[in-house]
Structure 1
Protein backbone atom coordinates (compact mmCIF):
# COMPACT_ATOMS: atom_id res chain seq x y z
CA UNK A 1 0.00 0.00 0.00
CA UNK A 2 1.40 3.33 -1.02
CA UNK A 3 0.73 6.84 -2.27
CA UNK A 4 0.61 6.88 -6.06
CA UNK A 5 0.35 10.65 -6.64
CA UNK A 6 -0.60 13.89 -4.90
CA UNK A 7 -2.60 16.86 -6.21
CA UNK A 8 -3.81 20.30 -5.25
CA UNK A 9 -5.44 23.32 -6.82
CA UNK A 10 -5.85 26.79 -5.36
CA UNK A 11 -9.13 27.24 -7.26
CA UNK A 12 -12.40 25.29 -7.28
CA UNK A 13 -11.86 23.37 -10.52
CA UNK A 14 -12.93 19.82 -11.26
CA UNK A 15 -9.47 18.30 -11.85
CA UNK A 16 -6.32 18.93 -9.82
CA UNK A 17 -2.78 18.94 -11.24
CA UNK A 18 -0.11 16.64 -9.83
CA UNK A 19 2.52 18.21 -7.57
CA UNK A 20 5.76 16.78 -6.10
CA UNK A 21 4.36 16.85 -2.55
CA UNK A 22 1.47 18.12 -0.44
CA UNK A 23 1.65 19.44 3.08
CA UNK A 24 -1.24 18.30 5.27
CA UNK A 25 -2.25 20.64 8.08
CA UNK A 26 -4.04 19.21 11.10
CA UNK A 27 -7.73 20.15 11.16
CA UNK A 28 -7.43 22.09 7.89
CA UNK A 29 -6.44 19.89 4.93
CA UNK A 30 -3.98 20.29 2.06
CA UNK A 31 -2.04 23.54 2.37
CA UNK A 32 -2.95 25.80 -0.55
CA UNK A 33 -5.87 23.69 -1.80
CA UNK A 34 -9.24 25.35 -2.42
CA UNK A 35 -10.99 22.75 -0.25
CA UNK A 36 -8.81 23.20 2.84
CA UNK A 37 -10.29 24.80 5.93
CA UNK A 38 -11.74 23.96 9.31
CA UNK A 39 -15.24 24.71 7.99
CA UNK A 40 -16.82 23.34 4.82
CA UNK A 41 -15.28 24.65 1.57
CA UNK A 42 -17.24 22.69 -1.06
CA UNK A 43 -19.17 25.37 -2.96
CA UNK A 44 -22.54 23.54 -2.82
CA UNK A 45 -22.18 22.76 0.90
CA UNK A 46 -21.08 26.32 1.75
CA UNK A 47 -24.44 27.56 0.41
CA UNK A 48 -26.24 25.16 2.77
CA UNK A 49 -24.23 25.94 5.93
CA UNK A 50 -20.88 27.73 5.71
CA UNK A 51 -20.23 27.14 9.42
CA UNK A 52 -20.42 23.32 9.20
CA UNK A 53 -17.22 21.42 10.03
CA UNK A 54 -15.17 20.41 6.99
CA UNK A 55 -15.35 16.61 6.85
CA UNK A 56 -13.98 16.75 3.28
CA UNK A 57 -10.50 18.18 3.91
CA UNK A 58 -8.65 15.56 1.86
CA UNK A 59 -10.11 13.55 -1.03
CA UNK A 60 -8.58 10.14 -1.85
CA UNK A 61 -9.12 7.77 -4.78
CA UNK A 62 -7.55 4.37 -5.38
CA UNK A 63 -5.66 4.04 -8.67
CA UNK A 64 -7.31 0.67 -9.25
CA UNK A 65 -10.54 2.56 -10.03
CA UNK A 66 -8.85 4.16 -13.06
CA UNK A 67 -7.89 0.70 -14.33
CA UNK A 68 -11.53 -0.44 -14.03
CA UNK A 69 -12.75 2.68 -15.82
CA UNK A 70 -10.20 2.15 -18.61
CA UNK A 71 -11.66 -1.34 -19.08
CA UNK A 72 -15.04 0.31 -19.64
CA UNK A 73 -13.54 2.71 -22.20
CA UNK A 74 -12.92 5.78 -20.02
CA UNK A 75 -9.46 7.34 -19.88
CA UNK A 76 -9.12 8.80 -16.39
CA UNK A 77 -5.79 9.73 -14.83
CA UNK A 78 -4.79 10.58 -11.25
CA UNK A 79 -6.08 14.05 -10.33
CA UNK A 80 -8.72 14.07 -13.08
CA UNK A 81 -11.57 13.50 -10.61
CA UNK A 82 -10.29 16.14 -8.20
CA UNK A 83 -8.63 13.97 -5.59
CA UNK A 84 -5.74 15.18 -3.47
CA UNK A 85 -4.17 11.76 -2.98
CA UNK A 86 -4.25 8.74 -5.28
CA UNK A 87 -3.43 5.44 -3.55
CA UNK A 88 -2.37 2.01 -4.76
CA UNK A 89 -2.98 -1.34 -3.09
CA UNK A 90 -5.94 -0.59 -0.81
CA UNK A 91 -9.70 -0.81 -1.39
CA UNK A 92 -10.67 2.53 0.12
CA UNK A 93 -14.39 1.91 -0.45
CA UNK A 94 -14.32 -1.18 1.80
CA UNK A 95 -12.91 0.66 4.83
CA UNK A 96 -15.14 1.73 7.73
CA UNK A 97 -15.64 5.28 8.94
CA UNK A 98 -12.92 6.24 11.39
CA UNK A 99 -10.15 4.23 9.71
CA UNK A 100 -6.85 6.07 9.98
CA UNK A 101 -4.41 6.22 7.09
CA UNK A 102 -0.79 6.80 8.05
CA UNK A 103 1.03 8.39 5.11
CA UNK A 104 4.75 8.97 4.83
CA UNK A 105 6.65 9.76 8.01
CA UNK A 106 4.05 11.61 10.10
CA UNK A 107 0.76 12.41 8.30
CA UNK A 108 -2.44 10.77 9.53
CA UNK A 109 -5.88 11.05 7.91
CA UNK A 110 -9.17 9.84 9.40
CA UNK A 111 -11.83 8.66 6.96
CA UNK A 112 -15.13 10.50 7.31
CA UNK A 113 -17.19 9.25 4.37
CA UNK A 114 -17.79 8.93 0.65
CA UNK A 115 -17.67 11.59 -2.00
CA UNK A 116 -21.04 11.95 -3.70
CA UNK A 117 -20.72 11.74 -7.49
CA UNK A 118 -22.18 14.79 -9.24
CA UNK A 119 -23.13 15.67 -12.80
CA UNK A 120 -19.80 17.45 -13.30
CA UNK A 121 -18.38 13.96 -13.83
CA UNK A 122 -20.39 13.67 -17.05
CA UNK A 123 -19.15 17.10 -18.12
CA UNK A 124 -15.63 15.75 -17.70
CA UNK A 125 -16.36 12.48 -19.61
CA UNK A 126 -19.83 11.84 -21.03
CA UNK A 127 -21.30 8.65 -19.53
CA UNK A 128 -18.72 8.39 -16.75
CA UNK A 129 -21.27 9.17 -14.03
CA UNK A 130 -23.06 5.85 -14.70
CA UNK A 131 -19.78 4.04 -14.15
CA UNK A 132 -19.20 5.54 -10.69
CA UNK A 133 -22.81 5.84 -9.49
CA UNK A 134 -25.16 2.92 -9.92
CA UNK A 135 -27.43 0.50 -8.09
CA UNK A 136 -26.18 -2.90 -7.02
CA UNK A 137 -28.43 -5.95 -7.09
CA UNK A 138 -30.90 -5.42 -4.28
CA UNK A 139 -31.13 -1.67 -4.91
CA UNK A 140 -28.20 -0.41 -2.83
CA UNK A 141 -26.67 2.76 -4.31
CA UNK A 142 -22.96 2.35 -5.06
CA UNK A 143 -20.80 5.50 -5.14
CA UNK A 144 -17.22 5.11 -6.38
CA UNK A 145 -15.48 8.47 -6.76
CA UNK A 146 -13.36 8.39 -3.67
CA UNK A 147 -13.41 8.81 0.05
CA UNK A 148 -13.14 11.92 2.17
CA UNK A 149 -11.04 12.47 5.26
CA UNK A 150 -9.82 14.97 7.82
CA UNK A 151 -6.21 15.60 8.79
CA UNK A 152 -5.59 14.19 12.27
CA UNK A 153 -1.82 14.73 12.22
CA UNK A 154 -0.04 16.98 9.74
CA UNK A 155 2.92 16.14 7.59
CA UNK A 156 4.30 16.06 4.07
CA UNK A 157 3.10 13.40 1.62
CA UNK A 158 4.86 12.45 -1.62
CA UNK A 159 4.33 9.89 -4.40
CA UNK A 160 5.83 6.57 -3.35
CA UNK A 161 5.28 7.15 0.37
CA UNK A 162 4.07 4.08 2.28
CA UNK A 163 0.48 3.93 3.47
CA UNK A 164 -0.55 2.02 6.60
CA UNK A 165 -4.12 1.47 7.80
CA UNK A 166 -5.49 1.28 11.33
CA UNK A 167 -9.04 -0.05 11.39
CA UNK A 168 -11.20 1.18 14.31
CA UNK A 169 -12.64 -1.20 16.89
CA UNK A 170 -15.94 -2.87 16.08
CA UNK A 171 -18.75 -2.29 15.54
CA UNK A 172 -17.73 -0.77 12.21
CA UNK A 173 -19.78 1.97 10.60
CA UNK A 174 -19.75 1.87 6.79
CA UNK A 175 -18.72 5.00 4.93
CA UNK A 176 -21.70 7.24 4.19
CA UNK A 177 -22.03 10.51 2.31
CA UNK A 178 -20.30 13.62 3.65
Structure 2
Protein backbone atom coordinates (compact mmCIF):
# COMPACT_ATOMS: atom_id res chain seq x y z
CA UNK A 1 0.00 0.00 0.00
CA UNK A 2 1.25 3.46 -0.92
CA UNK A 3 1.60 5.78 2.04
CA UNK A 4 3.19 8.97 3.36
CA UNK A 5 6.44 8.30 5.19
CA UNK A 6 7.22 11.91 6.19
CA UNK A 7 6.17 15.56 5.78
CA UNK A 8 9.16 17.90 5.46
CA UNK A 9 9.49 21.69 5.56
CA UNK A 10 12.24 24.33 5.24
CA UNK A 11 12.31 28.10 5.65
CA UNK A 12 14.90 28.66 2.88
CA UNK A 13 15.02 27.38 -0.72
CA UNK A 14 17.77 24.95 -1.71
CA UNK A 15 18.19 23.58 1.81
CA UNK A 16 17.46 20.23 3.40
CA UNK A 17 13.96 20.06 4.88
CA UNK A 18 13.14 18.92 8.42
CA UNK A 19 10.40 16.35 9.13
CA UNK A 20 7.29 17.72 10.92
CA UNK A 21 4.38 15.91 12.66
CA UNK A 22 1.77 17.07 10.13
CA UNK A 23 1.44 19.55 7.31
CA UNK A 24 -1.39 21.83 6.28
CA UNK A 25 -1.51 22.01 2.49
CA UNK A 26 -3.35 25.02 1.07
CA UNK A 27 -5.04 25.31 -2.33
CA UNK A 28 -3.08 27.53 -4.74
CA UNK A 29 -0.20 27.62 -2.24
CA UNK A 30 1.26 24.28 -1.05
CA UNK A 31 2.69 23.41 2.36
CA UNK A 32 2.03 26.19 4.87
CA UNK A 33 5.31 27.63 6.15
CA UNK A 34 7.51 26.09 3.43
CA UNK A 35 9.97 28.18 1.38
CA UNK A 36 8.84 26.61 -1.92
CA UNK A 37 5.13 27.22 -1.38
CA UNK A 38 3.36 29.68 -3.65
CA UNK A 39 0.87 29.87 -6.49
CA UNK A 40 2.84 28.07 -9.20
CA UNK A 41 3.02 24.60 -10.77
CA UNK A 42 5.60 23.26 -8.28
CA UNK A 43 3.77 23.89 -5.00
CA UNK A 44 4.64 20.52 -3.47
CA UNK A 45 7.59 18.18 -4.10
CA UNK A 46 7.42 14.43 -3.55
CA UNK A 47 10.15 11.79 -3.51
CA UNK A 48 9.82 8.05 -2.88
CA UNK A 49 11.74 6.30 -0.10
CA UNK A 50 12.65 3.76 -2.80
CA UNK A 51 14.51 6.51 -4.71
CA UNK A 52 16.38 7.52 -1.53
CA UNK A 53 17.22 3.83 -0.97
CA UNK A 54 18.95 3.75 -4.40
CA UNK A 55 21.31 6.50 -3.21
CA UNK A 56 21.94 4.64 0.08
CA UNK A 57 22.76 1.49 -1.96
CA UNK A 58 25.38 3.57 -3.83
CA UNK A 59 27.06 4.22 -0.48
CA UNK A 60 25.70 7.69 0.34
CA UNK A 61 25.38 7.88 4.13
CA UNK A 62 23.05 9.88 6.37
CA UNK A 63 20.09 10.01 3.99
CA UNK A 64 16.48 10.11 5.09
CA UNK A 65 13.27 12.10 4.70
CA UNK A 66 13.77 15.73 3.67
CA UNK A 67 17.43 15.38 2.67
CA UNK A 68 16.52 16.00 -0.99
CA UNK A 69 14.29 18.97 -0.05
CA UNK A 70 11.09 17.02 -0.75
CA UNK A 71 7.91 18.07 1.05
CA UNK A 72 6.43 14.57 1.09
CA UNK A 73 8.48 11.38 1.36
CA UNK A 74 6.39 8.45 0.10
CA UNK A 75 6.61 4.68 0.27
CA UNK A 76 5.09 1.99 -1.97
CA UNK A 77 4.48 4.10 -5.10
CA UNK A 78 6.73 4.73 -8.13
CA UNK A 79 6.15 8.46 -8.34
CA UNK A 80 8.31 9.19 -11.39
CA UNK A 81 6.22 6.78 -13.52
CA UNK A 82 2.98 8.73 -12.95
CA UNK A 83 1.85 10.75 -15.97
CA UNK A 84 1.44 14.52 -15.66
CA UNK A 85 -2.21 15.20 -14.83
CA UNK A 86 -2.51 12.21 -12.46
CA UNK A 87 -4.66 13.07 -9.44
CA UNK A 88 -3.57 11.77 -6.03
CA UNK A 89 -5.56 11.68 -2.80
CA UNK A 90 -3.01 12.12 -0.02
CA UNK A 91 -4.40 12.51 3.50
CA UNK A 92 -7.22 15.06 3.29
CA UNK A 93 -5.77 16.64 0.12
CA UNK A 94 -6.19 16.07 -3.59
CA UNK A 95 -3.15 16.94 -5.70
CA UNK A 96 -2.43 16.86 -9.42
CA UNK A 97 0.98 15.91 -10.85
CA UNK A 98 2.38 18.90 -12.76
CA UNK A 99 6.03 17.98 -13.38
CA UNK A 100 8.35 14.96 -13.26
CA UNK A 101 11.91 15.78 -12.21
CA UNK A 102 13.63 19.14 -12.39
CA UNK A 103 16.93 20.74 -13.22
CA UNK A 104 19.04 21.29 -10.11
CA UNK A 105 20.23 24.86 -9.71
CA UNK A 106 23.97 25.40 -9.48
CA UNK A 107 25.32 25.48 -5.97
CA UNK A 108 22.50 23.24 -4.72
CA UNK A 109 23.11 22.56 -1.01
CA UNK A 110 21.72 19.06 -1.34
CA UNK A 111 24.13 18.09 -4.15
CA UNK A 112 27.04 19.61 -2.20
CA UNK A 113 26.15 17.65 0.94
CA UNK A 114 25.20 14.27 -0.55
CA UNK A 115 27.22 14.27 -3.80
CA UNK A 116 24.31 13.68 -6.15
CA UNK A 117 20.67 14.69 -6.21
CA UNK A 118 17.99 12.19 -7.22
CA UNK A 119 15.23 14.85 -7.40
CA UNK A 120 16.05 15.78 -11.04
CA UNK A 121 15.24 12.23 -12.19
CA UNK A 122 12.73 10.78 -9.74
CA UNK A 123 11.13 13.62 -7.79
CA UNK A 124 7.72 14.89 -8.83
CA UNK A 125 5.81 18.11 -8.29
CA UNK A 126 2.13 18.66 -7.62
CA UNK A 127 -0.42 21.41 -7.28
CA UNK A 128 -3.00 21.33 -4.47
CA UNK A 129 -6.56 21.22 -5.78
CA UNK A 130 -8.23 20.26 -2.48
CA UNK A 131 -6.55 21.50 0.71
CA UNK A 132 -6.19 19.69 3.99
CA UNK A 133 -3.84 18.08 6.48
CA UNK A 134 -1.38 15.27 5.71
CA UNK A 135 0.34 13.15 8.35
CA UNK A 136 2.94 10.38 8.18
CA UNK A 137 1.16 7.05 7.64
CA UNK A 138 -1.65 8.56 5.55
CA UNK A 139 -2.54 6.45 2.49
CA UNK A 140 -1.85 7.64 -1.07
CA UNK A 141 -4.49 6.81 -3.64
CA UNK A 142 -4.36 7.34 -7.41
CA UNK A 143 -7.73 8.79 -8.45
CA UNK A 144 -9.31 7.72 -11.73
Normalising by the residue count of structure 2, what TM-score does the alignment of the two structures yield? 0.89
Q: Which residue of 2 aligns with 1:56?
A: 42
Kindly indicate which of the two structures has a greater share of residues assigned to strand.
2
Alignment length (residue pairs): 139
Structure 2 CA distance for aligned equivalents of residues 122 and 58 of structure 1: 20
Structure 2 CA distance for aligned equivalents of residues 97 and 116 of structure 1: 13
Q: Which residue of 1 aligns with 2:113?
A: 124
> Which consecutive unaligned segments of at least 5 residues does structure 1 have?
39-53, 134-142, 168-178
Structure 1 CA distance for aligned equivalents of residues 84 and 94 of structure 2: 14
Asked whether the equivalents of residues 84 and 100 of structure 2 are also in contact (C-alpha less than 8 Å), the reply is no
Q: Which residue of 2 aligns with 1:99?
A: 86
In the TM superposition, what whole-angstrom CA distance separates every residue of 1:47-70 from its partner, at most 9, and x where no partner exists? xxxxxxx11100000000111111
Relative contact order higher in (CA < 8 Å, ≥ 6 apart): 2
The structure that has the greater radius of gyration is 1
In the TM superposition, what whole-angstrom CA distance separates every residue of 1:44-103 from its partner, at most 9, and x where no partner exists? xxxxxxxxxx11100000000111111111132110010000000000010000111101
Structure 2 CA distance for aligned equivalents of residues 100 and 83 of structure 1: 18
The alignment partner of 1:18 has SS state of: strand
In the TM superposition, what whole-angstrom CA distance separates every residue of 1:115-135 from its partner, at most 9, and x where no partner exists? 324242431222x24xx48xx
1:114 matches 2:100: yes
Normalising by the residue count of structure 1, what TM-score does the alignment of the two structures yield? 0.73
Q: CA RMSD in A?
A: 1.6
